[in-house]
Amino acid sequence: MAEFKRPLPEPTPETEHFWEGCRSGELRLQSCDECSKSYFPPRPFCPACGSRNVTVKTASGKATLYSYVINHRPRPDFGDEPHSIAVVELAEGPRMMTNIVDCPQTPEALVLDMPLEVTFEKASDTVSLPKFKPAGA
């Protein structure tokens, strides 16, 4: 059987600032200098107005649980236990995919709109993944 390689992100020049932030324990978003909207995923212009005048900033790390599934199919990289795959809504507005951790992986424990905060999981020497846990956990 072929060895399963965990799918880890490979940064591009346009996303490197985000992954560099994660390595140092910082969730980074970009916002537009013209229309002041925050956006995600990273790109060197504002998807709302097209302006190239954008600034990288540190996000609060606060979010709420927007939607999710609990995967029950075995995954070589995640193990055999059911695990959440979730979309969170950041306090700054954008949404992002993540996993909810430090919490039972059950519908009872994972309640939509519950407050969350970011936590970083070291996945390799160069990659730390932003994950979210119940606020104050």
CA distance 122 to 128: 4
- Rule CB under 8 A: which of 10-69 touch other proteins? 10-12, 15, 19, 40-41, 66-69
User: Beta 115-122 vs 128-134: how paired, if at all?
Assistant: antiparallel
Q: Min. distance of Cβ 34 from other proteins in angstroms?
A: 21
Q: Min. distance of Cβ 68 from other proteins in angstroms?
A: 6
Residue 59's CB is within 10 A of a number of other CB atoms, namely 23
Per CB under 8 A, does 99 bind other proteins?
Answer: yes
**CA-based torsion, 13, 95, 121, 86: positive or negative:** negative
Residues forming contacts to other proteins in the complex (CB under 8 A) are 6-12, 15, 19, 40-41, 66-73, 75, 77-78, 82-83, 85-87, 95-99, 107, 112, 123, 129
